[in-house]
Every structure is written in structure tokens, then in C-alpha cells.
Structure 1
Amino acid sequence: MMSYTSVQQWLDKSPMSAGKRKIIQSAVKLFAQFGYQGTTTAMIAQDAGLSNATMFKHFKSKEELLQKIVTPLISELVPLFSEQFLKDVKNHLVSIYDLMDYMIRDRYQFMNQNCQIVLIIINQFLTNEDVKQTIVKLLGPKEEQLQQIIQELLTTDQTTDSNLTASVIIQLFAGQMLISFLKRYKLNVVVDNEQEVAQIIANVQKVIRKNA
């Protein structure tokens, strides 16, 4: 199975007509910018350089268009990314600190490369129960594997807080990444990438380290 590093790469490789690809690209951009409710089919057609009639030849409604974007992304892209991520994680099993450093840098880059689709997924996760359940079902087993890796490192490192669990560390990691992402892409705060990553790493490692 081919591995992709971005949604755009996956979209470029997907077998579809040029018109359909343009519509999906415009929809992703506008859904991320204005939200699903704030985007009309007319806006999507105009951004894609197509007529409304042409757009409706490919997608019968805005709801169908959203489904065609979110469903393949969750069912195909998310497992691909997470599987590759876990393989890479296993290559960084030096210490819990090195692992968190790698995870933060890797996911920070991934989220920036795919910021538009990440925004859509976050919005749909919060408002669409079907999407939420699909994500939980697909990522649940991957999270369990990651917990096992982290827990193993915790039990062999005497510098970490003995009260910490892998689940708490994953929640801490995810929370810090989400806050940073929303600050940049929802609140439009300008950040220096290196400084932002360094701050996230410092925040996470401070909690992990014993008597920090």
C-alpha cells in the first residue's frame, strides 16, 4: 500500500476527473476557512472555476461533497498516517524524552502540512457523531499500540514521575498539540515554528520528569 505524507499528495494520486478534483480542493479550502455551515455550493463552484450545474454533476449536494471528503480521509488517510507514524515511533525508542521530542516534531509538521483538512476533521469530530465514532474506531487500536510503547519506556526510566501512565502522557501530548494548532489556525496567532515546538516539548517533558 502506498504511503502518503499529505492530503494533497493523496488527492493528486486518486483516480478522479480534473473537475471533481478541483471541487474537492476548493471545498477543503473553504470548509477549513469558513466552516461547513458558512460555505455554500455557489462559493465552492466559483472557487473551482466551474458552474453550479457542472458541480452538481459530480456531487448532488453539499452534504454528499462533505461525505466524499471526510469518509475517504478517515478510512484511508488516517490509518496510513498513523501506521507509518507508529513504525517511525518504534525507531526512536531511546528514552521517553527522545520519543516525545520526536512525536511532537513529527506531528507538528504533519498538522501544518495538512492544516485545512485537520481543521475540517476537528470541526466534524465536535459536531458530527458518525464522524466521531469512525475516528475513534479507526484510531483506537493505534492508540493502544502507542500506549504500550510509552508504558514500556516509563517503567525502565527512573527519572520519570512514577504516578504517570501512558494514557495521561498521550492526553497531555494531544492537548498541547491541539492548543498550538488552534492558536495558529483559528486565532491566527503568528508563531515561530522552532520556538513553538521547543515550548511544547518543554511543557510535556516538565510534566514527565520526576519532581519537576
Structure 2
Amino acid sequence: MSETMEQWVEELLKGEGSGEKMTEKQTKILQSAIEVFAEKGYAGSSTSEIAQRAGVAEGTIFRHYKTKKDLLLSIVAPAMTKLIAPFVLRGFNKVLDSEYESYEGVIRAMIENRIEFIAKHRNLLRILLQEIPFHPELQEHFQRDVLVKVLGRLQKLVTGFQAKGQMVDLPSMTVVRLTISAIMGYIAVRSLYGERKDAVWDDVQEREATITFIMRGLGIAK
């Protein structure tokens, strides 16, 4: 993990709000687990490697966590409920609480906001993207603590533009889904490919093409 530990990791390791202070060994185990899960994914990780990085015996892990799955959930579930949802909403508040003259302004603000968010919380997001599809417990946390809150507020923005006659008459959730799909597609490719040194990637062009695609798809003049 980098010398400057991500904010969510710092809060998680402090155990704030949990009522229990982590021991030094627990802290080392969680730090090492975060690194290994982010690098290799849950299925490709082993408790022996986590123990080796933490400088503890493998049996020490099982004294604190019954299984590798418990170790994963001890990282992701608290982060989802206490950290990621507030982080997502805190970041989106800047977008959702602002006033925009056009839907294009909303799209641009969302893109900037999410790029900044991903840059700050890359390790946790990598774990979430890798593991959510395979763990129903994480899906439930994500839907309840993140998705419902964010989508609900975005729908209100869309219905506001629709009421002014500035947007195509589609169900507001459909508009939100199409918008987020295009934005996240751009951001995912940008993060996985566009930031590579050997990538042929014009970020300004790709961003403008994404915005134009969304606006035209929704029948909005750009």
C-alpha cells in the first residue's frame, strides 16, 4: 500500500464506531489483506500470503477471522456501510446540490467528480468491482447503502429538466441508467487503459465524444 494510506483505510483501521479497538496484529492483517485482495482478487488470494505480508503466523488470522470470507467481509462490509456510502454521497452532494442550466452540465460534473473519487480510493474500488458480482452479501450492502440513495437523487435532477421541457420524455430511471452506463464505461476504460504509458488515448476527445453520445441519445441538442 502507498505511504499515504487511502482515507477509507485509515478510518477502517481506526475501528471508529465499531466499539472495539483493533490490536496491532489485526491492523497488520487487514492492511495486508487489502493489498492482496486488491492485487489478486479474493479467489486468487491465500491466507498464507496475507499472513506472510503481515508478519504473523497463519493461525493468527484464524484466531481473529474464522474464514477468508470473514476477512473479506470485515473489510468490505464496514467500508460499504460506514465509509463508501458517505464518501459517494459526500462527493455527489457537490454535483446533486448544484444548479445547472443544462443536463450537459450535470454530466460534466459527474465525470469530474467520479474521476477524482476513483483516484483517491482506487484499492477499495478494485476490491468492490472484483468481488461484488460473486458475493450476495456485498450486493445487498451496495444496493441498500449506495445505489438506492444515489439513483434516487439523480432521478430528481432528471425530472426537473423534464418538467422544463429540456429532456426527452423517458422514464427518469431509464435516463439515469443510460447516463451512468455511458459515463462509467468511459471512466472504466480510461482507468484500465487510458492511463497506461503505452496507451493511444486522447482524453479530451474521448470525454467529449461520451458527452455528445449521451446528449444525442437522449434527444438533447448539444
Q: After TM superposition, is the score higher than 0.5?
A: yes
CA RMSD of aligned residues (A): 3.0
Contact in 2 for aligned 1:45/1:52 (Cα 8 Å)? yes
CA–CA separation in structure 1 for the residues paired with 2:120 and 2:99 = 25
Select between 130-139 and 32-41 the one with higher mean Cα deviation: 130-139
- Counterpart residue number, 2:12: 11
CA–CA separation in structure 2 for the residues paired with 1:12 and 1:119 = 18
Give the 3 Å change call, closer, same or farther, for CA 187–203 of structure 1 in structure 2: closer
Q: Deviations over 1:129-185 (max 9, x none)?
A: 232122112231331122112321344364x5x245542343234323443454466
Listed as ranges, the gaps of 5+ residues in structure 1 are none
Choose the corresponding residue for 1:66, options 69, 72, 76: 72
- Counterpart residue number, 2:139: 132
- Structure with higher RCO (Cα < 8 A, 6+ apart): 1
Matched, 1:38 2:37: no
Select between 182-191 and 55-64 the one with higher mean Cα deviation: 182-191
Give the 3 Å change call, closer, same or farther, for CA 148–132 of structure 1 in structure 2: same
| Superposition TM-score, scaled by structure 2 size | 0.76
Listed as ranges, the gaps of 5+ residues in structure 2 are 1-5, 16-20
| Superposition TM-score, scaled by structure 1 size | 0.79
Choose the corresponding residue for 1:108, options 102, 106, 115: 115
What pairs with 1:79-98 in structure 2 (closer than 5 Å)?
79-94=85-100, 95-98=102-105
Residue 140 of structure 1 aligns with an amino acid whose one-letter code is V
Contact in 1 for aligned 2:51/2:58 (Cα 8 Å)? yes
How many pairs are equivalent? 205
Matched, 1:172 2:178: yes
List 4+ stretches of structure 1 deviating above 4 A.
Answer: 184-189
CA–CA separation in structure 2 for the residues paired with 1:175 and 1:101 = 14
Residue 67 of structure 1 aligns with an amino acid whose one-letter code is L
Residue 77 of structure 1 aligns with an amino acid whose one-letter code is L
